[in-house]
C-alpha cells in the first residue's frame, strides 16, 4: 500500500540507471580540480559556468542532443540543493553524481523540488525523473516525500475546502489506507464525552467541532501518541485578529497536518508500535454563541481555565486532547501546534522550538535533527514562569499578561495537562515557508517530522 497511492502522485524515481543521462554535481573546487573531465571543464569555462549554487549547464553530444549536465553546488552545499534540478532538467531519466553530498540527500532534495500545489490551477507535471543509485531505498524516499507533500497539501488548502469536516475526511482516508481504526466525537457529543474546551472553541462555527482519533499497530508494543492542533481557521474569536494577521490562518491546522504526515510514515513503514493519533478539529469563529474574554471553563482534566484572550485558543483544544491522551500512559507523547508568534520571534520561521523535561529525549531529538538536516531547537520549560499562568479566580489563564516568553508559558500551560506519559515533547511549529528555498516553495511546510520519525523508528 504505497503512500503515493494515497496522495495520487507519481513517484519521481525510476529504477535502473544504465540509460539515464548524468548530472555532474560539483563544487567550485572540484571544477577547478578538473572534474568531471578536461573537455567538460573547458566547455564550462567557455560558457562561464563556475559551479555556483544552483547553476546548471547542459552538455551537448556529438549528435547535437543533450548528453548530460553540470550542476553547481556552491562552496558550502545546501543538503537539498538538488531540488532545483527537478524542474530545471529536460525530460527523461537522469542520475546525479555528487561526491559532496550523500546519495540519500541528493535523491530527497530532487524529490522535494518536484512539489507544487496545483489543486486550483493547471498542473505543471514533472518530466525529469531520477534514477536512484544502488543501495538507496526508494520506498523510504517515497515515504518521506509523501509525508511532506501531505502536510504541505493540507496546509495550502484554503479553509472553505479544509474545514473540520474535510479534515476528518482526510483523517479517515489515511486511516483506511493503512487499516487503522478511526473514530470521531462531534458537536454536542463532546460535552457528553467530557471534551468541554474543544467544544467551547469550536461551537461558534458553522461546522461542528470534533475530536478525531486513530489507532493502529500492535497492542502490547510501545505506545506512541501523536496530538495535533487542528484549528482549521482562526479569526481570533471575539478578540478578533486584524486582517493582515488572518491572511495565513488557514495554516493554523498545521500541527494536525504534520501529525498526520508523521503517522503516514510510521504506518507505511510498518513500525512495531501501538500508535494513537488525536486531532481536535475546530474553527475559531464568531457568532452569538462564541466564547468570551473573562469566561471560565472546566477542562477534561478538571482544571479551570479563565479566558483572557479568545485568540489563545490552540492551547485550549490541545489541553483536552493531551489530557485524554495522557490517560493511557503512553511511552512517548508528541504534540505539534502552530501555537505562538513568540516562537517565530525567538527562532524565525524555519527552526521550530520544542519543549521537554526528558533530557534523554532532548538529546535523541537533537541527534535526529542533525542526521536528517531537519532543524529543531530546544527551548526551556522554565518553572520560574509558571507564576504567569496564575489567575485569581481560576486554576489557569490561557493568556498570561505582559507578552514575555509567550512560547514558554504556552508550553508550561500544556504541561499542566500531561502527568502520566513516560516522555512528552511539545513542538511549536510555523508550518509555513515564507520564502522560497531549493526544496521548498512559498507555502505550507512539513517541520520536524523527519527528525521525529528517525527517533520513533529507533523505538520500534
59 Cβ contact partners less than 8 Å away, ≥ 6 residues apart: 40, 43, 66, 67, 68, 69, 70
- DSSP secondary structure letters along 369-425: HHHHT---EE----GGGGGGG--SSSSEESS-TT--SHHHHHHHHHHTT-SS-SSEE
State how far the Cα of 176 lies from the Cα of 160, in Å rounded to an integer.
24
The answer to whether 438 and 80 have CB atoms below 8 angstroms apart is: yes
The answer to whether 334 and 225 have CB atoms below 8 angstroms apart is: yes
> Going by DSSP bridges, is the β-strand pair 181-186/128-131 parallel, antiparallel, or unpaired?
unpaired
Residue with cell 553524481: 97
- Give the CA distances from residue 273 to residues 175, 178, 388, 456, 457, in Å, rounded to whole numbers and listed in that order: 15, 14, 38, 9, 9
State how far the Cα of 287 lies from the Cα of 205, in Å rounded to an integer.
7
Q: Is 250 a catalytic residue?
A: no
Q: Is 315 a catalytic residue?
A: yes
Residue 145 cell numbers, joined: 516525500
Residue with cell 498545521: 254
Catalytic residue chosen out of the listed positions 315, 415, 416, 454: 315
Identify which of 109, 103, 112 has the alpha carbon closest to the alpha carbon of residue 132: 103
Chain centroid to Cα 15, Å, comes to 28
Residue with cell 522560497: 436
Instruction: Name the strands in the sheet holding 66-72, side by side, starting at the edge strand that comes first in the sequence.
Output: 13-14, 128-131, 92-98, 21-26, 66-72, 56-60
Residue 265 cell numbers, joined: 510514515
State the chain's maximal CA–CA distance in angstroms: 83
Catalytic residue chosen out of the listed positions 50, 215, 241, 378: 241
State how far the Cα of 56 lies from the Cα of 60, in Å rounded to an integer.
13
| Positions marked active-site | 241, 315
Amino acid at each position: 500500500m504505497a503512500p503515493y497511492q494515497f496522495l495520487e502522485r507519481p513517484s519521481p524515481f525510476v529504477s535502473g540507471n544504465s540509460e539515464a543521462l548524468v548530472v555532474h554535481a560539483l563544487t567550485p573546487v572540484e571544477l577547478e580540480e578538473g572534474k568531471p573531465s578536461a573537455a567538460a571543464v573547458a566547455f564550462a569555462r567557455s560558457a562561464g559556468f563556475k559551479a555556483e549554487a544552483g547553476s546548471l549547464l547542459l552538455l551537448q553530444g556529438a549528435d547535437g542532443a543533450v548528453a548530460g549536465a553540470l550542476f553547481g553546488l556552491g562552496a558550502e552545499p545546501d543538503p537539498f540543493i538538488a531540488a532545483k534540478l527537478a524542474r530545471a532538467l529536460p525530460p527523461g531519466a537522469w542520475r546525479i553524481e555528487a561526491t559532496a553530498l550523500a546519495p540519500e540527500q541528493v535523491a530527497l532534495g530532487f524529490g522535494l523540488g518536484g512539489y507544487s500545489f496545483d489543486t486550483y490551477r493547471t498542473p505543471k507535471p514533472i518530466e525529469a525523473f531520477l534514477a536512484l543509485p544502488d543501495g538507496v531505498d526508494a520506498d523510504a524516499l517515497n515515504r518521506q516525500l509523501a509525508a511532506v507533500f501531505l502536510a504541505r497539501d493540507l496546509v495550502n488548502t484554503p479553509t472553505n475546502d479544509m474545514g473540520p469536516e474535510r479534515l476528518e475526511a482526510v483523517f479517515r482516508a489515511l486511516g483506511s489506507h493503512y487499516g487503522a481504526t478511526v473514530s470521531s466525537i462531534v458537536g454536542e457529543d463532546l460535552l457528553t464525552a467530557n471534551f468541554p474546551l474543544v467544544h467551547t472553541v469550536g461551537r461558534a462555527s458553522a461546522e461542528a467541532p470534533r475530536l478525531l482519533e486513530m489507532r493502529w499497530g500492535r497492542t502490547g508494543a510501545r505506545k506512541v501518541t501523536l496530538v495535533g492542533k487542528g484549528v482549521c481557521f482562526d479569526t481570533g474569536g471575539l478578540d478578533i485578529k486584524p486582517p493582515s494577521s488572518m491572511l495565513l490562518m488557514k495554516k493554523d491546522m498545521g500541527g494536525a497536518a504534520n501529525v498526520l504526515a508523521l503517522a503516514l510514515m510510521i504506518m507505511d513503514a510498518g513500525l512495531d508500535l501501538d500508535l494513537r493519533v488525536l486531532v481536535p478539529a475546530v474553527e475559531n469563529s464568531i457568532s452569538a454563541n462564541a466564547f468570551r474574554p473573562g469566561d471560565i471553563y472546566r477542562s477534561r482534566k478538571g482544571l479551570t481555565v479563565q479566558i483572557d484572550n479568545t485568540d489563545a485558543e490552540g492551547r485550549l483544544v490541545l489541553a483536552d486532547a493531551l489530557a485524554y491522551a495522557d490517560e493511557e500512559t503512553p511511552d512517548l507523547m508528541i504534540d505539534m501546534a502552530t501555537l505562538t508568534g513568540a516562537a517565530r520571534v525567538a527562532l524565525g520561521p524555519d527552526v521550530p522550538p520544542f519543549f521537554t523535561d526528558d533530557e534523554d529525549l532532548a538529546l535523541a531529538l537533537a541527534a535526529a535533527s542533525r542526521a536528517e538536516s531537519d532543524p529543531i531547537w530546544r527551548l526551556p520549560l522554565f518553572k520560574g514562569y509558571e507564576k504567569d499562568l496564575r489567575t485569581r479566580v481560576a486554576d489557569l489563564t490561557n493568556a498570561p499578561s505582559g507578552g514575555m516568553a509567550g512560547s514558554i508559558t504556552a508550553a508550561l500551560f500544556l504541561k499542566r495537562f500531561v502527568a502520566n506519559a513516560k516522555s512528552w515533547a511539545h513542538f511549536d511549529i510555523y508550518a509555513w515557508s515564507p520564502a522560497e528555498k531549493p526544496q521548498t516553495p512559498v507555502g505550507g511546510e512539513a517541520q520536524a517530522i523527519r527528525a521525529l520519525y528517525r527517533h520513533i523508528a529507533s523505538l520500534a
